[in-house]
Chains A and B, each alone.
Chain A
Amino acid sequence: MTGSTKAAGTFVAAADLAPPRSEVGVIGWLSKNLFSSWSNSLITLVCLWVTWRVVMGVLDWAVFSAVWTGNDGTVCQSANVGACWPFVTAKFGQFMYGRYPDSERWRVLLTYGLTAVTLAGLMIPAIPGKKWFGIFAVVGLPFISWGLLYGGMFGLPVVKTEFWGGLLVTLVVATVGIAGSFPIGIILALGRRSEMPVARWVSIFFIEVVRAVPLITILFMSSVMLPLFLPDGVSFDKLLRALIGVMLFSGAYMAETIRGGLQAIPRGQYEAADSLGLSFPQKMGLIVLPQALKLVIPGIVNSFVGLAKDTSLVLIIGIFDLLGIVQAGLTDAKWFAPGTAMTGYVFAAFVFWVICFSISRYSAWLEKRLSVGDRR
């Protein structure tokens, strides 16, 4: 040690020397984590090389060799071009709204805006008036959205659902599916655990039947079989049929997720609620469900993300969601070129990723906030 003596007999420690440069900072971190041995160094170098190749490949395709402007596929008609972005630009309106008339598209945007404001009001803790936002979300928003999108109210011209498409349909199916499956799931989960035999049997039957068939089958039934059983002239809107199908399907899955949460609540909680003299709705609404739902947030979000992506299946019954409208756009002979298909699919994938990633980020945040009590 290099202690110095100031006065006789007192030892004063010298100020600590900074650790050697090879131990701290960027270099230290690198040598500790990436180059600690020759095998690690080798793996690091290989990974770096692979990453470099992939990133450069993607950049080259999406930016450097991409075509940015043009009016038809001929600009992309060359052997070595990357992405064909003019295809996306030219059809962007369609990808977003389907065949929704240009002059009415403000209605879609207004609906998005209203929904966003309501969701913000419900989801961001700092905004006051949760109760009113909640009531509006349940009572007002669905009807106002329908009125805006479909029209026929407030003097707006009717835009039939066959004109809807693209991201609009994806969002409508996903939102309605998510919003509808949640209450259906809670009811079915409670029903399956109920002591009333009829309620239990009906719930079990419904869950097991719906869960045992693929979503495609349900959509096919709703679009192909149902019209045969209905008397002539009675026909449900195709989109509405798909919406109900999606809602019931994800409701069955949601029920099992929520039931998992209900089973994790100790019996003592139920008994405590009973001993307080709470009624069944009070017991469930105030004691059991808040705990149970919190436990299964990852499972619920899993279902939601899955559902958001499953919406693409509606394209097999001739409804154009985002993926469907991109595929339909690819059949436009004007845009035939080697790179168009890839460009369209990458665009669709990116939009889906943005949607699903936002859902999962919000849920991660929510989970953290709700688990303050039992943070480990």
Chain B
Amino acid sequence: MKKLLGLGLAGAVAFAGLATGASAQQKTLDTVKARGTVNCGVAPGTPGFSNPDDKGNWTGLDVDFCRAVAAAIFDDPTKVSFKPLTAKERFTALQSGEVDMLSRVTTWTLSRDSAMGLAFAGVMYYDGQGLMVPTKLGVKSAKELNGASVCVATGTTTELNLADYFRSNNMTYKPVVFEKAEELNAAYEAGRCDVYTTDASGLYAQRLRFKDPSAHIVLPEIISKEPLGPVVRQGDFQWFTLVKWTYFALLNGEELGITQANVADMAKSTNPEVKRFVGAEGEFGKGLGLTQDWAVRIIKGVGNYAEIYERNVGPNTPLKIARGINNLWNKGGLQYAPPIR
């Protein structure tokens, strides 16, 4: 019986291997074109990154990136089939071909890039772990937190980062550990700990749920690196390049001042960089397996990076997250795209 079971399992695994092998061989772009939609894995609910609005439409930074890819291929940002995926299913869904790409607050790490067979196509959002304290403590910097009690979610890298940070700065702290965000919120608001820590984008979101959001400040220090970006399968370079350059087009669009509003006029521009961007010069779309106006389609469909940012997480949204390190490289940030040439 045991032997039989073992044999069956081995067979199943081999079969699974064959299946994934086969899916890697097929050209994702062709499959997508034949299907007519991009299957895009998103988070089932992360404020500002992917969440359903009042009408049930998906909105958010990650969601808009899916739309940008669809716009590049089909000239229609609505041709996306959003697949909400939990943290545990996301990689299997990508590997099994259920989704063509993930755009789902996923941190780019070495192990994911190597052992898991994934390929990160860029960094849509540079996140990092932040610390929040009540304003009345009068703390201005994380360096003043020696001996503080810290509310942190259990079993996450958040806990590790916290330990690393305090140890490397020769400070002590008392962890107050919880399972869920709701519990963390309640404990922090009830004053059971002095500091609340999670990813910075999450801190801004959680703060809005407090009775008096203005009574809490997010400290300037970011104690870990969490680069979040779109992910594709390894083994299909054409698709990887397409997704990567969709991201670059968003950045280049912002750098060149091409917006959703003026993209039509930009076609007449004499600036050689803009001319290459809009496809008036060169044959750049063909190399991606797309049309000549691929970049125009993206900007027309969803706007440039700045527009996406402002719409979903920027200062005019309830989240009010400043651009910070997510600004363009020439404005003091980290967002940098190679030129279209």
Contacts and interface: CB of A to CB of B under 8 A. Distances in A.
A196 interface: no
Contacts of A177: none
A224 to B, nearest CB: 5
A338 B81 CA distance: 33
A99 interface: yes
Interface string A286-298: 0000000000000
A114 B23 CA distance: 43
A123 B219 CA distance: 63
Given A99-B56, A162-B83, A327-B45, A333 B51 contact: yes
B20 interface: yes
Contact of B52 (A228, A231, A233, A328): A328
A318 B83 contact: yes
A336 B16 contact: no
Interface in B261-317: 317
B83 A98 contact: no
B83 A317 contact: no
Given A98-B56, A317-B89, A328-B52, A333 B318 contact: yes
B45 A228 contact: no
A90 B44 contact: no
Given A224-B92, A331-B45, A336-B47, A318 B19 contact: no
Contacts of B54: 90-91, 94, 332, 334
A73 B318 contact: yes
Contact of A333 (B48, B82, B83): B48
Nearest to A81: B211
Interface in A180-214: none
Contact of A224 (B55, B88, B211): B88
Contacts of A330: 45
A231 B182 contact: no
B224 interface: no
Contacts of A73: 208, 318
Contacts of A270: none
Contacts of B205: 333, 336
Contacts of A79: 211-212
B99 to A, nearest CB: 10
A340 B206 CA distance: 12
Given A228-B95, A228-B96, A318-B86, A338 B209 contact: yes
B53 A332 contact: yes
B235 interface: no
A229 B83 contact: no
B196 to A, nearest CB: 15
Given A94-B52, A336-B208, A341-B209, A228 B318 contact: no
Nearest to B46: A331
B182 A341 contact: yes
A232 B23 contact: yes
Contacts of A324: 44
A interface residue count range (under 10 / 10 to 19 / 20 to 34 / 35 or more): 35 or more
B89 A223 contact: yes
A233 B19 CA distance: 9
The contact size tier of chain B is 35 or more
A232 B35 CA distance: 14
A47 B319 CA distance: 45
B70 to A, nearest CB: 15
B98 A227 contact: yes
B208 A162 contact: no
Nearest to B93: A227
Of A72, A235, A330, A333, the most chain B CB neighbours within 10 A belong to A333
Contacts of A328: 44-45, 51-52, 84
A134 interface: no
Contacts of A336: 47, 205, 208-209, 318
A334 to B, nearest CB: 6
A325 B51 CA distance: 10
B208 A337 contact: yes
A82 interface: no
B209 A333 contact: no
B97 interface: yes
B12 A94 contact: no
Nearest 4 CB-CB pairings of A with B: A336-B208, A331-B45, A227-B96, A232-B23
11 contacts: A94-B52, A98-B56, A99-B57, A224-B92, A225-B92, A228-B92, A315-B44, A318-B44, A336-B47, A338-B210, A341-B182
Given A72-B318, A229-B16, A334-B53, 12 more contacts: A77-B213, A224-B89, A228-B19, A228-B95, A317-B86, A318-B44, A328-B45, A330-B45, A332-B52, A333-B317, A336-B205, A338-B210
Interface of B: 12, 15-16, 18-20, 22-23, 26, 44-48, 51-57, 81-86, 88-89, 92-93, 95-98, 182, 205, 208-213, 317-319
